[in-house]
């Protein structure tokens, strides 16, 4: 018999594993169906490994132990929650991979209430008849942005698609070559446009687009799209058309204009520590486009949503689009967004929202917080580790604000590179996990994106990562 055959002969059969006393209790009732598939998968993987990795023949008993261990681990994962809280030490405030904006407590509570109980989602309580889903929230959004009306959809990608589809109806859509953007891994403007069935007409060049470039291709009814450059800047020999110039041209040529504002701010950028030069949604709308779209969970500081702003008739038309149903948001989203917009409405100045709070946090506060964190951690640090509070820069992130960064304070650790990396991995594997910033200067935690309440959790996370015995093994 070949080596391979003798190795495979010891592979436990699925039916044998069924009877294992550790697995049998997990397989009663309807759970047997999916657990059978889990066991089958583990056995298949094991067979593949035995085929591919030559090695000594392992006993049946040994392989049963391996299989049962893996099946139990898989069961634990599948019956637990599939997400982990993360302490954001990256300094990227709107971190798309970490879930963008955190909700204020009222928004989370509002979402919880609407999730737990029935509500008047599409019901008019005074008349006892069918009501309009989301209209009250949309009124608040429109008022804040200075638009006649607004429409809430699933995200900004859906908002752009809907606006383009509704206005172009498969016809030509004009876009500057300098604005054919990609946001994150899956939002590519030209792909979204292709899916609307429109014919994309690119004008200008990557670095220069003039009003003349637009004028040359416009015919009455041609849809024009302008896109905020969000995550990059064009420098050097450049030329751009402002939204107001383009709106004037489009009005004269009888062409509808859509503006994808990307982040969409309702509060002045300069007042949250960001460089000026960016416009508010109200200013975008005042420039005169027919529709403005933005995200709900970037600088707005709310939940995942896309908001379309425009005139009453325009929004009414969009609201009637057949695909709108496919893009509509859940009641928990509407409730959370409602609470966030209410914060804007009741605030005399900057609304109390985690995203804006983090961005606006003054440097002396960050310095003080970083100092406290360092002092707590220093006595816990293993030999060979040095920590310091150092200046660094936070960023808005989320593809929401070009390359702008804000001065911040980091607690930075230096040690042997392998140990730093192992520590960072342990921090990421904790619950809550801690994601910091790792580069040639060391392992850093930007305190801008760590709240006061989270400081003890950060300390506990480092304590656990440093105390874990294997972390020093082999050093």
What residues make contact with ligand PLP under the rule CB under 6 A? Answer: 155-157, 183, 187, 227-228, 230, 260, 262-263, 295, 306, 399-400
Yes or no: say if 50 and 8 are a contact pair by the CB < 8 Å rule. Answer: yes
Least distance (Å) between residue 47 CB and ligand PLP: 42
Element (H, E) at 4: helix 3-9
Which of left, alpha, beta for 204 (phi over 0: left; psi -120 to 50: alpha)?
Answer: left
DSSP-assigned letters across all residues of 59-113 = PHHHHHHHHHHHHHHHHHHHTS-S---EEE-S-BSS-GGGTSSPPPHHHHHHHHH
For ligand PLP, the closer CB: 17 or 183: 183
For ligand PLP, the closer CB: 353 or 415: 353
Q: How far apart are CA 398 and CA 391, in angstroms?
A: 22
Q: How many H-runs (helices) and E-runs (strands) does the chain carry? A: 17, 17
For ligand PLP, the closer CB: 101 or 168: 101
Closest CA to 294 of 195, 228, 198: 228
The stretches of 85-232 forming alpha helices (DSSP H) are 105-116, 135-145, 156-168, 189-195, 211-217
For ligand PLP, the closer CB: 18 or 187: 187
Least distance (Å) between residue 189 CB and ligand PLP: 7
Yes or no: say if 298 and 265 are a contact pair by the CB < 8 Å rule. Answer: no
| Strand 405-414, strand 442-446: pairing | antiparallel
For ligand PLP, the closer CB: 104 or 399: 399
Least distance (Å) between residue 192 CB and ligand PLP: 8
Least distance (Å) between residue 258 CB and ligand PLP: 11
Q: How far apart are CA 103 and CA 107, in angstroms?
A: 6
Least distance (Å) between residue 146 CB and ligand PLP: 20
Least distance (Å) between residue 183 CB and ligand PLP: 4
Q: Report which residue's Cβ sits closest to ligand PLP.
A: 262
For ligand PLP, the closer CB: 295 or 451: 295
Q: How far apart are CA 471 and CA 461, in angstroms?
A: 13
Least distance (Å) between residue 156 CB and ligand PLP: 3
Beta bridge partners of 257: 224
For ligand PLP, the closer CB: 228 or 426: 228
For ligand PLP, the closer CB: 182 or 433: 182
Task: Please state the separation of Cα 48 from the chain's center in Å.
Answer: 37
């Amino acid at each position: 018999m070949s080596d391979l055959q003798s190795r495979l002969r010891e592979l436990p059969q699925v039916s044998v594993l069924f009877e294992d006393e550790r697995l049998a209790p997990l397989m009663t009732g309807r759970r047997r169906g999916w657990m059978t598939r889990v066991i089958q998968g583990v056995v298949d993987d094991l067979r593949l490994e035995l085929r591919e990795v030559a090695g000594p023949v392992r006993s049946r008993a040994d392989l049963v132990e391996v299989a049962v261990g893996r099946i139990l681990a898989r069961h634990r994962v599948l019956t637990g929650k599939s997400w982990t809280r993360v302490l954001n030490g990256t300094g990227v405030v709107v971190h798309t991979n970490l879930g963008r904006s955190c909700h204020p407590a009222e928004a989370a509570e509002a979402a919880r209430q609407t999730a737990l109980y029935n509500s008047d989602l599409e019901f008019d309580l005074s008349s006892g008849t069918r009501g309009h889903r989301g209209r009250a929230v949309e009124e608040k959004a429109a008022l804040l942005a200075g638009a006649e009306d607004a429409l809430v959809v699933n995200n900004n990608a859906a908002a752009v698609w809907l606006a383009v589809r509704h206005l172009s109806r498969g016809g030509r859509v004009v876009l500057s070559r300098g604005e054919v953007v990609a946001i994150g891994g899956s939002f590519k403007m030209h792909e979204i446009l292709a899916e609307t069935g429109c014919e994309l007409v690119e004008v200008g060049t990557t670095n220069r687009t003039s009003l003349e470039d637009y004028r040359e291709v416009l015919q009455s009814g041609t849809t024009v799209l302008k896109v905020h450059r969000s995550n990059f800047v064009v420098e050097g020999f450049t030329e751009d058309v402002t939204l107001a110039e383009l709106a004037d041209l489009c009005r004269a040529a009888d062409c509808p204009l859509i503006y994808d504002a990307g982040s969409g701010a309702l509060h002045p950028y300069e007042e949250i520590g960001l460089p000026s030069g960016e416009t508010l949604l109200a200013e975008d709308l005042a420039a005169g486009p027919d529709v403005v779209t933005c995200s709900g969970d970037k600088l707005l500081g709310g939940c995942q949503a896309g908001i379309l702003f425009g005139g009453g008739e325009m929004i009414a038309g969009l609201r009637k689009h057949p695909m709108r149903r496919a893009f509509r948001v859940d009641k928990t989203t509407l409730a959370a967004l409602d609470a966030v917009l209410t914060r804007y409405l009741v605030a005399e100045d900057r609304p109390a929202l985690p995203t804006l709070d983090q961005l606006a946090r003054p440097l002396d506060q960050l310095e003080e917080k970083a100092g406290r964190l360092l002092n707590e951690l220093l006595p816990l640090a293993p030999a060979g580790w040095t920590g310091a509070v150092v200046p660094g820069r936070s960023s808005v992130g989320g593809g929401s604000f070009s390359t702008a960064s804000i001065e911040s304070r980091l607690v930075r650790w230096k040690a042997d590179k392998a140990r730093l990396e192992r520590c960072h991995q342990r921090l990421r594997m904790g619950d809550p996990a801690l994601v910091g910033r790792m580069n040639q200067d060391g392992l850093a935690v930007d305190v801008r994106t760590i709240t006061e309440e989270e400081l003890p959790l950060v300390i506990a996370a480092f304590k656990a990562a440093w105390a874990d015995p294997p972390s020093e093994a082999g050093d």
